[in-house]
Chains A and B, each alone.
Chain A
Amino acid sequence: MSEKKFSKKHEWVSLDGETATVGITKHATEMLGDIVFVEVPEPGKSVEKDGQAAVVESTKAASDVYSPISGEILEGNKSIVDDPGNVNSDPEGASWFFKIKVKDKSEFDTLMNKADYDKFCAENPS
């Protein structure tokens, strides 16, 4: 299992060679509540670090999902589009949002590790 890093916008990224997998954190799903709609990017789309890449909607509101890393979209996770509630049940596992071919691996290193992210969440309650 590759190392997981975290963004201030509550996305997680894991890196496997040139391919990064991106999703939203458990903390994010707890803030959002019941997720009822997901839109993931099409393969081939290029995204910038911190650029809007996907959409997640709960019963309460719509939120953008940002890519914590630049690159080209390889795949969006269709299973969460078909069954958005899966994001609540397994946000940091099977319910990833998209895979991306990474342009610049050094961007990965600038993200927070688990301990720093947990601290960040504790210091910035919603």
Chain B
Amino acid sequence: MEVQKTALYNYHKDLGAKFVSFAGYEMPIQYKDGIVKEHISTRSYAGFFDVSHMGQFFLEGDETLAGALEKIIPADLKSLKLNHSKYSFLLNNDGGIIDDLIITKTSKGFCIILNAACKENDVKQIEKFLNKDHKYFLNNDLSLIALQGPKAVEILEKLVPGVSNLKFMTGDNFKFDNENLYITRSGYTGEDGFEISIPNNKVEKLISFFKENKVNAVGLGARDTLRLEAGLCLYGHDLNEKINPIEANLKWAIAKRRREEGGFNGWDVIKKLIENGSEKKRVGILPEGRVIARENTKIFSESGEEIGLITSGTFGPSVNAPVAMGYINTKYANIGTKIHLEVRGKKHGGKVSELPFFKKSYVK
């Protein structure tokens, strides 16, 4: 497959970005300042992220569209209000997670933000449930820019008046340079902020404004440390087709009505898991000292039994300590349970921790 680039590729290059291949895209992993500074400046001021590799999938249709999507997405789409968003996922027949996503109700239907690595397959999985009256397309003419951090609202309000009225997980249409922007108050860092869907030919103009306001570019490296501190899952690591939402501790993302009525992929499996509990569960892990427990680090009980596996682990710059999450035998999943982590052949101490590691500051 040919390597893809976002509309801002040359801009990243001029900023001294180091690139990494991610989901078929050449994406900036960091800029000159490095991951720690990018992370800290996002939490203390604001940072912008080019996440245009993610899929912006638009669906249009009549009142049957919500019902069709509910076959594969366990959110309450029938009563989702206009311009409101929900975190949810696509499920397979075993209740496994095909992808995690944010779905927003638009005037014509829905918009779903999909992970870059999954988006082509996601469309195939979704279209199985659609009929000829439903239109759908991945819009590649749009970029997606996240502006995150405590100053995000003040800065964006100057350019796009009205955005400060948005509440967390809602969005609206705004005008910028005679073009339509769709902006949601959301993000994946644990900070207040926005995701801005903008035509590719306007994105450099938006970024210039951010630069004038001293907002630095943040790469995928800091995006990863930020989201892990916020306890948020990264698909392909913390979630995959063999993991179901109950194991992933994401039951909250299955709407109450859907839990009562069922009628979606994998419901029989998920229903049993809700009733009986799952054998393993996603938890936060805090290693002792400075040892970093990275993905695939084995977790042991104090008595030496292998009880789980780390799925994401790094050094958390704001926590100023190593942080991780992983799946652990449910017997050992209680907060505070002491565990051992095997790093480079040696066992190191650690404990099961609450998530997030860093308090979220969403504006609700």
Which of A's residues lie within 8 Å of B, judged by CB? 33-34, 36-37, 39, 55, 57-62, 81, 84
Contact of B35 among A33, A57, A84 (CB under 8 A): A33
| Chain B residue at smallest Cβ distance from A52 | B344
Q: Which 10 A-B pairs have the closest CB atoms?
A: A36-B315, A34-B36, A59-B35, A34-B34, A37-B290, A33-B34, A37-B292, A57-B292, A34-B35, A59-B315
CB-defined contacts of B225 to chain A, threshold 8 Å: 59
Q: Which of B21-50 contact A (CB under 8 A)?
A: 29-30, 34-37
Contacts of A84 in B (CB 8 A): 290
Inter-chain contacts of B292 with A (CB < 8 A): 36-37, 57, 62
The secondary structure that dominates the B interface is mixed
CB distance from A90 to the nearest CB of B (A): 16
Checking B36, B290, B291 against A59 with a beta-carbon cut-off of 8 angstroms, the contacting residue is B36
Which residue in B221, B290, B344 is a CB contact (below 8 Å) of A33?
Answer: B221
CB neighbours (8 Å) of B314 from chain A are 59
Contacts A36-B290, A62-B294: A57 and B315 contacting too (C-beta < 8 A)?
Answer: yes
Q: List 24 A-B contacts (CB under 8 A).
A: A33-B35, A33-B221, A34-B34, A34-B36, A34-B37, A34-B317, A36-B36, A36-B315, A36-B322, A37-B290, A37-B291, A37-B315, A39-B344, A55-B344, A57-B292, A57-B315, A58-B35, A59-B34, A59-B314, A59-B315, A59-B317, A60-B35, A60-B221, A62-B344
Q: What residue in chain B is nearest A85 (Cβ atoms)?
A: B36
Q: How many Cβ-Cβ contacts under 8 Å join chain A to chain B?
A: 41
Q: Tell me, rounded to whole Å, the shortest Cβ–Cβ distance linking B291 to chain A.
A: 7
Q: How large is the interface on B (under 10, 10 to 19, 20 to 34, 35 or more residues)?
A: 10 to 19
Please report the C-alpha to C-alpha distance between residue A55 and residue B343 in the assembled complex, in whole angstroms. Answer: 11
Residues of B within 8 A of A62 (CB): 292, 294, 344
Interface residue ranges, B against A (CB under 8 Å) = 29-30, 34-37, 221, 225, 290-292, 294, 314-315, 317, 322, 344
* Cα distance, A61 to B34, chains bound together (Å): 14
Q: In the complex, what distance in Å separates the CA atom of A1 from the CA atom of B20?
A: 39
For B289, the closest partner residue in chain A by CB is: A37
Q: Which residue of B lies closest to A59 (CB)?
A: B35
Chain A residue at smallest Cβ distance from B18: A33
Minimum CB–CB distance from A23 to chain B (whole Å) comes to: 19
Q: How far is the CA of A36 from the CA of B225 in the complex (A)?
A: 12
Question: B221 touching A59 by the CB < 8 A rule?
Answer: yes
Which B residue's beta carbon lies closest to that of A81?
A: B290
CB distance from A97 to the nearest CB of B (A): 16
Residues from chain B with a CB closer than 8 A to the CB of A58 are 35
Known: A33-B221, A55-B344, A59-B225. 6 other contacts (CB 8 A): A37-B291, A37-B315, A59-B36, A59-B221, A60-B29, A84-B290
Q: Please, how many angstroms separate the alpha-carbon atoms of A39 and B221 in the complex?
A: 23
